[in-house]
Amino acid sequence: MDYNKPIPPQGQYTKPFWDGAKEGKLMLPRCMNCNRVHWYPRLICPSCHSMDIEWIEASGEGTIYTYAVQHRAFGGWGEEVPYVTAYIDLKEGDRMMTVLRGVDPGKPEDIRIGAEVRVEFEAANEETHLPFWRLVED
């Protein structure tokens, strides 16, 4: 079945992220001046404005910062409602928005802020593997 949801465009600057994703690795930009990781990728560090950015392989571990149950969506996502979106506190720093897997959107009271999650990748096409986060079972 063809992937029917929006696929982010890839750019030269974000190539390390997409190359890593194809191998199941979460690559994050880190400032070589202040050592802070930031998400989303930027040419200039949002903390210290340095342009010395490197890419690191992240642990793929994080925790739920907050979440919301989505009941309306367009396009391919409309076929998945209800589903849960979340902001993930990345172990290395900063936050990533995601669609959260492994949770029941019909029982949001069971989703715990601070719960451990792990990244996984879903192939949208041959070139683009997208990160999603899944609840780690206790």
By CB under 5 A, name the binding residues for Zn ion: 31, 33-34, 45, 47-48, 50
Q: In angstroms, what is the minimal distance from the CB of 37 to Zn ion?
A: 10
Cα distances (angstroms) measured from residue 26 to each of 11, 48, 73, 81, 85: 17, 23, 26, 26, 19
Q: In angstroms, what is the minimal distance from the CB of 46 to Zn ion?
A: 8
Taking the least distance from each CB to Zn ion, the nearer of 67 and 92 is: 92
Taking the least distance from each CB to Zn ion, the nearer of 3 and 40 is: 40
Q: In angstroms, what is the minimal distance from the CB of 87 to Zn ion?
A: 21
Q: State which amino acid sits at residue 138.
A: D
Taking the least distance from each CB to Zn ion, the nearer of 34 and 136 is: 34
* H-helix or E-strand spanning residue 21: helix 15-22
